[in-house]
Chains A and B, each alone.
Chain A
Amino acid sequence: MADKMATRQAYGQVLAELGSKYESLVVMDADLSKSTMTADFKAVFPERFFNMGIAEQNLYGAAAGLALSGKIVCASTFAMFASGRAFEIIRNSIGYTKANVKICATHAGITVGEDGASHQTFEDLALMRTIPGMTVINPSDGVSAKQLIRQAVAFNGPAYVRLGRAAVPVFYDEQADIKIGKANCVRQGKDVTVIATGIMVSEAMIAAEKLAEDNIDVRVIDMHTIKPIDINIIVKAATETKGIVTAEEHSVIGGLGAAVAEVVTTHLPCKIAMVGQQDTFGESGKPEELKVKYGMTAKEIILAVKQISANS
């Protein structure tokens, strides 16, 4: 794990690349282009960039209008305001119409850090995955973010892409096979499975290395696509290992943990423990401090794995 890169940086870089490939690509923002990194696209294709001002509802309404006129639209703001404030616009004018809008939402989760609770969303995956036909993607590093965004832009229909503010380790190599809807098993193991998403994948890898010292062999899955979720890989984990720990930088209510539990209870019940934000708001602080205080680190994953391992 050498380099670090925020997934939003990967987004900015891939947008500038995709602008040349797709003449119909339009990028929109709500006065946060230097933070969401859409400014990278604006610098190269100013005539295809629209700043809609601090008006997230209209950002997504207008995005729908452009998409229904044949444009591919990437529309960005902070995840809190995209998924929360504009939820009903996204539901009715993008979801219901199947508009080709990619909601690329940055600054998700606790790693927003110093801005505090008003800006830290732990609800966005839950909200977005309830919309029929919405693809929901949460990349774990810069390389996979680029690949997944390229694929999201290539298909016709709505998608939500969750991106982070903080730099996170890059652990995929450029040739890695990453596909929307197909989770990646990033570490083989036979005792317990950790299904992680977003920045929690690298925490899960740290946890797995530590647990190996205690002779617990942990499988780690990068569930970068929350919807449609990879049912097969979950059922396989439920069959082959003693239980599943889910890990997400999101509320344990309604997000990855819930999505995995829905699959498991339907197909093959097994023990599940959920690591994530425990039904509480965040606060200001450094991202690393907040991860520790709110229990979203390798430590909590290790505890949960040991619990499942001991009880079975």
Chain B
Amino acid sequence: MDYREFEQTAANIRVGIVKAIHAAGSGHPGGSLSAADIVTALYFREMKIDPKNPKMEGRDKFILSKGHAGPVQYAALAERGYFPKIDILQLRKLGNQFQGHPNMDKIPGVEMSTGSLGHGISVAGGMAMANKMDAKNGRIYVLLGDGELQEGLVWEAVMSAAHYKLDNLVAIVDWNGLQIDGKNDDVMKVSPVGEKFTAFGWNVLNIDGHSFEEIFKAFEDAKDCKEKPTAIVAKTFKGRGVSFMEDNPNWHGKAPNDDELAQAIRELGGEW
């Protein structure tokens, strides 16, 4: 199957990310770019959502547990038509809706205010429980960072999701291998990731997080799995798409300057 359309959309979203962070003068490009393909797959094909009716009954929900990657969510929602793209250039500015980390009261399409790591998957579990209680079909997708897995709350939530058989919950780990102070496994060993989820009773799928074919197939496989939540461990590269940011922990939380922005946009080839 041809995924060029999604690749182009992801490139557009990546351009939005670097432009917004450049305009803000601060932010987290590395972990936003690594997640761009996963987030594109969710917002542009996988999820039942309606930009004209963000609170649509029975919709699927996406929670950005790694809230510092807010720009990828903002750029994706803008690309999807929730609000004009130009709006996200107000990122991190005083009085603006695009906070440094997402706020659900200020942005249509944002289901949960995140930023403090580990909260998103815990809240997502509660949302999945509510959908089960009400026999709603909506699925809950939650994106976690790999460094985020060092938070104890993540594993409390992982345990309870398996206990309550939340097969309507999909956790995607954006496994780019890097966090602020360096490589995950140097800072605090998180691997093996998949085996941990397996041990807690989850269905685990290991994929290339930059392959739309593998991302879409994983979402389908997750739906086929009953009585277990699914963890998609997606191998990604931090800063994906921008040569000087790629796989470089220094670009975890730093804004590009004018020249770096121009180069990033050229390399990404996105339309914005």
A-to-B contact residues, CB < 8 Å: 26, 47-48, 50, 52-53, 55, 57-58, 61-71, 88-89, 92-93, 96-98
Contacts and interface: CB of A to CB of B under 8 A. Distances in A.
B159 A66 contact: no
Contact of A55 (B127, B134, B159): B159
A55 B118 CA distance: 13
Contacts of B156: 53, 55, 57-58, 61
A52 B104 CA distance: 25
Interface stretch (B86-94, B108-116, B223-231, B234-242): B108-116
21 contacts: A53-B159, A57-B152, A61-B122, A61-B156, A61-B157, A62-B126, A65-B112, A65-B127, A67-B126, A68-B123, A68-B127, A69-B130, A69-B134, A71-B130, A89-B119, A89-B153, A92-B115, A92-B116, A93-B122, A97-B105, A97-B113
Interface string B147-185: 000001100110110011000000000000000000000
A68 B55 CA distance: 12
Contacts of A89: 119, 122, 153
A149 B181 CA distance: 47
Nearest to B136: A69
A55 B163 CA distance: 13
Nearest to B138: A69
Instruction: With a 10 A CB-CB cut-off, give which of A50, A64, A92, A93 has the most chain B CB atoms.
Output: A93
Chain B binding site: helix, strand, loop or mixed by DSSP? helix
A65 B134 CA distance: 14
B124 interface: yes
A50 B134 CA distance: 15
Nearest to B164: A50
A63 B126 CA distance: 6
A159 B156 CA distance: 24
Contacts of A65: 112, 122-130
B131 interface: yes
Contacts of B104: 68, 97
Instruction: With a 10 A CB-CB cut-off, give which of A47, A62, A67 has the most chain B CB atoms.
Output: A62
A58 B160 contact: yes
Given A92-B116, A96-B113, A58 B122 contact: yes
B125 A62 contact: yes
The 8 closest A-B pairs by CB, nearest first: A65-B126, A61-B122, A69-B130, A58-B156, A62-B126, A55-B156, A65-B123, A65-B127
Contacts of B119: 61, 64, 89, 92-93
Contacts of A62: 122-123, 125-126, 129, 157, 160
Contacts of A57: 118, 122, 152-153, 156
A66 B127 contact: yes
Nearest to B111: A68
Given A62-B126, A93-B113, 5 more contacts: A57-B153, A61-B118, A61-B122, A66-B126, A92-B119
Contacts of B133: 26, 47-48, 71
A66 B123 CA distance: 8
Nearest to A50: B129
Contacts of B116: 88, 92-93
A57 B117 CA distance: 12
A73 B105 CA distance: 20
B125 A55 contact: no
Contacts of A98: 105
A61 B159 CA distance: 13
Interface in B80-100: none
A89 B164 CA distance: 21
Nearest to A48: B133
A28 B164 CA distance: 13
Contacts of B124: 65
A237 B124 CA distance: 48
A93 B129 CA distance: 17
Nearest to B122: A61
Nearest to A71: B130
Contacts of A93: 112-113, 116, 119, 122-123
A89 to B, nearest CB: 6
A61 to B, nearest CB: 3
Contacts of A52: 160
Contacts of A66: 126-127, 129-130
Contacts of B113: 92-93, 96-97
Contacts of B128: 65
Contact of B123 (A26, A50, A64, A71): A64
Contacts of B164: 50
Contacts of A67: 126
Contacts of A97: 104-105, 112-113
A97 B119 CA distance: 12
